[in-house]
Structure 1
Amino acid sequence: MAERTSRIPGFFKLPPDERLARVAEITGLDDPTRQRLRDTGNLPAEVADSMIENVIGTFNVPLGIATNLMIDGEEVLVPMATEESSVVAAVSNAARQCRDSGGFHTAMSGALMIAQVQLVDVPNPEFARLRILEHRDDIKAICDDTDPVLLQYGGGFRDIEVRVLASRTGSMVVTHLVVDTRDAMGANAVNSMAEAVAPAIAEWTGGRTNLRILSNLADRRLARARATWNTATIGGESVRDGMIAAYDFAEADPYRATTHNKGIMNGVTAVTLATGNDTRAVEAGAHAYAARTGQYRSLTRWEVDAHGNLTGTLEMPLAVGLIGGATRSHPTARACLEIMGVTSAERLARNIAAVGLAQNFAALKALATTGIQKGHMALHAKNIAVMAGAVGDEVDRVADELVAAGTVRVDVAEAALRRIRGEG
């Protein structure tokens, strides 16, 4: 093993296999570990190397299919990439329980993204604000010239907003470029427009432009989903009322709301990842939107309709795309879009919103009835069995013993595996 160091001159210039060899030499990786890292699965090494820097391999995440979803009258199979047990099963189960009432109904507010241009060192910020607004048509021309392809597809500049913000360093003037990005997530397009507009804004106002970048609070790009669950189907009024009480807890308390929304994002992030979209952007936007009132709250709303049935709604920013980035370059992402049958970014976002609502229903029902651990740990038992060394049909046999005992731990799994193998 070579001397351990993180200083590897020219590392980024090496091909992936040579990078792996250097890392293995420095860290002492054994041959089986090296071989696992060489196996890049369904993402060719050369493609992975074009996506990020210093690639030595890939990290495979299980890809499952959520079933039973009826979305806007259409049968939809939804790919979900996640490492967490019970997530895919929860969506499938929740979707099955609302099929008899029409499944999920979805909508989208539009495909508008915002780029921000920050102007500082302005002695008269309110005057500068009006000067910028007067140049709306000039700004539109600059933006549309920056991305003529987007214009050809019906997108492009839509409007501006100009705000004066107080800060520790004094007043700053922030211009919002509102852009329709169509089937693109839009980060590159709006960032380029902000860069192009910035010099003109500085010239018109006498200020100095600083940051020029999109906002991931995509509140002009809201995905909406709603569904109704028949009270008898979900287990009666006591289950329904328990779910409402759990939602009320999340709406009132940020500590509960954080975990409540994490459950929603279990589904949202899994589909976002499976389709090669930016999970961090979606998550940041969702949590910022949840705090838009000044208190962090639930992204969903749960009520009882006039017939006594449970109704749920979800509204959240969902900036996803079908063109560019990993969505275009990753072969598995393209396959997932094909499985889902989506041909527009809007349709993808609407499907993701339906999955998020289904995930939240499943979590609330589990919490209000058996508790979250029973179902989750029953599925997690297989993971524990594998960790204990079980292979083949041993995995199910060990998992069954763990569930029957009500104790899902590695030491218990190891003891069960020894019994199965007749080792005492």
Structure 2
Amino acid sequence: MHFYKLDPYQRRELLKEKGIKLVKIEPEKLARLNQLSENVIGEIDLPLGVVQDVVVNNKSYLVPMAVEEPSVVAAANHGAKVFAKNGGSHVVSKREGIYGQIVLKVDQAFSLEKLAKDFPYYVSLANKEFASLVNHGGGVKEITGEIKGDLVYLKVLVDPAQAMGANKTNSILEFLSNKLVRLPHVREKMFAILSNYPSQFATVKVELTVASVGGMQVAKKIALLSKIGYQDPYRAVTNNKGIMNGVDSILIATGNDYRSVEAACGVFASKSGKYRSLSKWEVVDDKLIGSLTLPLALGVVGGSINSRSDIQQAYSILGEQVSSELLASLIVTVGLANNFAALHAISTKGIQAGHMKLQARNLVANLDASSVEKSKVLKEIIKLKHYSQAQAQEILEKVRKQEEDK
């Protein structure tokens, strides 16, 4: 029998027979996970942390982050705290929809101009077929097209309402393409599928007093680092990675497709023809002004969001009636907060010091020791600034010897 046709328990047994060590998992949980994915044999846990006091458009929120790297959560909290002291962020979130593509192969007699006159008809036809989406505030908004040789490229803009909308958009595209392929002079359908090209944007802006970031010298260095990130792709990609640390962590916590957002952000960072930093920082008078625009095609309903208790926990943290626009506003703000924290660290004490202190926690967590012993080891590691598992074990042995000598 094919592996995918086995139940998850049979798959686990096969892997165990090959000498693979699997973590124990409750049968009920394994059965539930098997409904969410393919070839399921277990799960990967991620810590769920919280960013406190994320002030967006004059309202404060708690924001969940699912990530295994403590410095990401610490940086987000640091940045959000500085933002909050300065009145928080101001965000504009525009959710126009998702682009889908239908590409048709045609003969020389095909007229795109003639087809374009019928675009409103096809919009109406699709919205009638997918009335449930229209009833939720979404639907097909427009169809545009261009012809290149013997290929016609149709671009369909779909408003997915409050859902991510990938499956619904693909269904709409299949429906429309099946109608269009029957037209005279259309030879065949090449494909009909959504595009992850940027189409839904959130823009955040913060104005920080120079004093709140450590003085004019620090502010100017942050602005210079930002300028370098705009000019140098080596700096830009690392800068953007820091932004995505915060973005991806929230997307994962809220059950969104972080892969599509990552892809869209990569394209957006290259929109000028050169890969650049997504954020911008500049000093104006006595203010450090930061801004960031991100393409954020996301949702708060649909997919596995409603069926996963761990994801619903994250929405409970966010508060009642979280819209996709609000979620995008929170995500872009935290992305800029992570970016600020990284640039601020580079401009002051250096980024590695904070990273290593937090890394020490991971070293200590791996020790076979009591919570009291771990606490003592952690303090000593940070004091000595020697960050290795061997060092942690050596300090633990010294701690235990000291206790024996008492």
TM-score normalised over the length of structure 1: 0.89
1:187 equivalent to 2:166? Answer: yes
1:151 equivalent to 2:134? Answer: yes
Q: CA deviation at 1:386?
A: 2.4
Between stretches 324-333 and 357-366, larger displacement belongs to 324-333
What is the correspondence of 1:221-240 to structure 2 with a 5 Å cutoff?
221-240=200-219
Q: Distance in 2 between matches of 1:186 and 1:128?
A: 31
Q: Distance in 1 between matches of 2:300 and 2:234?
A: 35
User: What secondary structure, in the 3-state scheme, does the structure 2 residue paired with 1:98 have?
Assistant: helix
1:38 equivalent to 2:25? Answer: yes
Quick one: which of 309, 318, 324 aligns to 2:296?
A: 318
Quote the residue 1:216 is aligned against. 196
Q: CA deviation at 1:49?
A: 0.8
| Contact 1:37/1:58 (8 A) holds in 2 | no
Quick one: which of 186, 190, 201 aligns to 1:206?
A: 186
Quick one: which of 234, 250, 253 aligns to 1:255?
A: 234
Q: Distance in 1 between matches of 2:114 and 2:187?
A: 12
Q: Distance in 1 between matches of 2:175 and 2:288?
A: 50
Deviations 1:59-98 (A, max 9, x none): 1001001112111111100000001121111111111112
User: What secondary structure, in the 3-state scheme, does the structure 2 residue paired with 1:232 have?
Assistant: helix
Quick one: which of 10, 17, 26 aligns to 2:18?
A: 26
Quick one: which of 215, 233, 244 aligns to 1:265?
A: 244
| Contact 1:246/1:364 (8 A) holds in 2 | yes
Deviations 1:26-55 (A, max 9, x none): 2253xxxx4x33148xx9323211110111
User: What secondary structure, in the 3-state scheme, does the structure 1 residue paired with 2:63 have?
Assistant: strand
| Contact 2:86/2:207 (8 A) holds in 1 | yes
One-letter identity of the residue aligned with 2:291? T
Quick one: which of 108, 131, 135 aligns to 2:93?
A: 108
Runs of 4+ off more than 6 Å = none
**How many residue pairs end up in the alignment?**
401
| Contact 2:89/2:205 (8 A) holds in 1 | yes
Quote the residue 1:367 is aligned against. 346
User: What secondary structure, in the 3-state scheme, does the structure 1 residue paired with 2:401 have?
Assistant: coil
1:334 equivalent to 2:312? Answer: yes
- Identical pairs, percent: 34
Q: Distance in 2 between matches of 1:171 and 1:239?
A: 57
1:399–1:172 CA distance, 2 compared to 1 (3 A): farther
1:377–1:146 CA distance, 2 compared to 1 (3 A): farther
Q: CA deviation at 1:416?
A: 1.4
Q: CA deviation at 1:194?
A: 0.9
Q: Distance in 1 between matches of 2:130 and 2:267?
A: 28
Q: CA deviation at 1:413?
A: 1.6
Q: Distance in 2 between matches of 1:94 and 1:309?
A: 16
Q: Distance in 2 between matches of 1:123 and 1:329?
A: 50
Q: Distance in 2 between matches of 1:303 and 1:39?
A: 52
Quote the residue 2:74 is aligned against. 89
1:315–1:171 CA distance, 2 compared to 1 (3 A): farther
1:47 equivalent to 2:32? Answer: yes
Q: CA deviation at 1:389?
A: 4.0
Q: Distance in 1 between matches of 2:253 and 2:30?
A: 19
| Contact 2:197/2:264 (8 A) holds in 1 | yes
1:28–1:272 CA distance, 2 compared to 1 (3 A): closer
Q: Distance in 1 between matches of 2:278 and 2:295?
A: 10
Between stretches 193-202 and 221-230, larger displacement belongs to 193-202
One-letter identity of the residue aligned with 1:137? P
| Contact 1:382/1:396 (8 A) holds in 2 | no
1:69 equivalent to 2:54? Answer: yes
What residue ranges of structure 1 are gaps of 5+ in the alignment? 1-8
Deviations 1:222-244 (A, max 9, x none): 01111111110110011101111
What residue ranges of structure 2 are gaps of 5+ in the alignment? none
| Contact 2:86/2:209 (8 A) holds in 1 | yes
User: What secondary structure, in the 3-state scheme, does the structure 2 residue paired with 1:38 have?
Assistant: coil
| Contact 1:64/1:79 (8 A) holds in 2 | yes
1:114–1:400 CA distance, 2 compared to 1 (3 A): same
Quote the residue 1:294 is aligned against. 273
Quote the residue 1:4 is aligned against. none
User: What secondary structure, in the 3-state scheme, does the structure 2 residue paired with 1:162 have?
Assistant: strand
| Contact 1:119/1:208 (8 A) holds in 2 | yes
| Contact 2:261/2:295 (8 A) holds in 1 | yes
Q: Distance in 2 between matches of 1:413 and 1:82?
A: 24
| Contact 1:321/1:345 (8 A) holds in 2 | yes
Q: Distance in 1 between matches of 2:344 and 2:158?
A: 40
1:422 equivalent to 2:401? Answer: yes
User: What secondary structure, in the 3-state scheme, does the structure 1 residue paired with 2:382 have?
Assistant: helix
1:10–1:417 CA distance, 2 compared to 1 (3 A): same
| Contact 2:100/2:193 (8 A) holds in 1 | yes
